[in-house]
Structure formats: structure tokens, C-alpha cells
Structure 1
Amino acid sequence: MAQYVRDIMTGDPVTVEPQTSVTAVARIMRDQDLGAVLVTDGDHLRGLVTDRDLVVRSIADGGDPDEITVAAACSDDLVTVGPDEELTHAVELMREHAVRRVPVVQDDHPVGIVSLGDLAIEREPESALGDISAAKPNI
């Protein structure tokens, strides 16, 4: 039986506007235990930013994280899936584009995120990645 993206995605994604500061996004990630948030312009998906993006694309350049906006740090060349697509398609996209997270979009609006960790927990819960992904954070 086919599984669908909606079956394992994290729904109700956290979103921020492009002009949100890197500091504000980092605090959201810390407070909500997130590794990524979606960047939206109104209701439309504009990008995805990860904790690594914040460090590599903004803080490492020496800028002021209170002044740098998330628009400068986010990935805007996104691969997306729909919630009713088969999970195997999401896996293929992750492999093909070498990404760990894929935004889930319905009618041009973000409705979730599916991650490599979500897939590991669902498909190989006893694997090292499945164990790590299911564990409580250590912060």
C-alpha cells in the first residue's frame, strides 16, 4: 500500500517573513526546537532557512544578525511536494537534489515539511538515523 507525504509530514509549519532578522529566526528555532523554518511572502512560499543556513550564509560573513534579514540566508531555489503525493516521490526528490527537507505545498501555500528524519523514523525506526531523529533534543 502506498504511503503519502501527508502521512509523515510535519504539518502547520513555522513561517517567517523575508524581512525577519536572523536573530529572531534563530530564537524561534531555539524556542520551538526546529532545524528549519519556511520563509513566506504573505501566504506564498519564498524559501526555506535552516540553522546551518543562518550560520554559513549570514553569521560567518561577520554581519550583525540583528540587522541581516532571513531573505539573505534562505534557500530560494526550492523543491516542493504536495501532501497527496506518494512518499517515494519525496524520497526521489531528496536524493536527486541532495536535500534533507522538502516543503509541502498545496494550492501554492505551505502546509508542512517532510524531512530526512521523518522518513527515517517512518521507514527505518531501528536505524541509527531513525534513533537519532526520534530522540528528544539535548539542549
Structure 2
Amino acid sequence: MRVSEVMTRSVRVASPDQPIREAASIMADIDAGVLPVGENDRLVGMVTDRDLAIRAIGKGKGPDTPVREVMTADVKYCFEDEDTEHVARNLGDQQIRRIPVVNRDKRLVGILSLGDLAIEQGASPAGDALENISRHGGRHTTQ
């Protein structure tokens, strides 16, 4: 099965210059813990609820802090025409639960989560990925 068959297509995107307060509000509106960050029609980062808690609030940054100051710029992504089992393995190896989906022009076209995989393919690929994601990775650091 291809990623394009199971991904979520309607994706809200934050701007790198947008205040983190607005990014948090968007996350609350869509009931998600992650937002892709786009600039000039390109994916430039990802911001998560964890980024907001640790890189912003935990460091004493205010609600008007630009998203670019707390986002992860090193974005892992997959292509819409990739095989879902391959992507599920990569999610586990990279210990991530959600991944932006781009077309071959590297334009954002969706987002793929473990939940998307589990709903469409059953527990096996998603469960295998989750098992790898959940393994202890040692001491965690944030920038």
C-alpha cells in the first residue's frame, strides 16, 4: 500500500514567524500535537507540543516567541508514493510517531501517523514501529 492511500491530506501549517501562542491554538483546534512549519511553499520545520513545553516554556520564552526559535529544523519526511511498510520501519528506526508527506517536488501534501497506519493496515506495521519508537533511547537532549 502507498502512503498516499492512508495519509491525512488536510494539514494545517504554521509559519516560522508565527507566535508560538498561535501554533498552540492551532494544535488545540485540530486536536494534534504536531504542526509542519512552512515558508514560501516549502517545509522548513516541525513544531510539537513537546517543543512548546520544553524549548519554550521550560526555557522561559513568552507566548509571542516565533515558532522558528523552538521548532525542529531537521525534518524527516517521506514521499507520497513510498510503500507504507517501508515507512513504518523508518518511523520505528527514527523513533518518530508522525511524519510529513511530500510529493517528488518536495511540496507538503499530507502527514502520516502511526494511527493512520494502524487504521488502514492493522496493528502489525504500526505496532512494530511503535515498539521501536518506545525503546529506551538514553538521555534525551533538546537544543
Place the TM-score, normalised by the shorter chain, in its bin.
0.7 to 0.9
> Superposed, which structure 2 residues align to 1:24-103 within 5 Å?
24-66=22-64, 68-103=65-100
How far apart, in 2, do the equivalents of 1:39 and 1:88 lie? Answer: 26
Q: Deviation string for 1:79-117 (max 9, x for gaps)?
A: 111111110121121011111111101111111110112
Q: What is the aligned-residue identity percentage? A: 38
Structure 2 gap ranges (5+): 128-143
Structure 1 gap ranges (5+): 130-139
Q: Deviation string for 1:55-95 (max 9, x for gaps)?
A: 111111111122x1111221111211111111012112101
| Contact 1:8–1:122 (CA under 8 A) maintained in structure 2 | yes
CA shift for structure 1 position 14: 0.8
Matching of residue 111 in structure 1 with residue 103 in structure 2: no
For the residue of structure 2 that corresponds to 1:99, the secondary structure is coil
CA shift for structure 1 position 124: 2.8
TM score, norm. by length of structure 2 = 0.80
| Contact 1:90–1:102 (CA under 8 A) maintained in structure 2 | no
Runs (4+) off by over 6 Å: none
TM score, norm. by length of structure 1 = 0.82
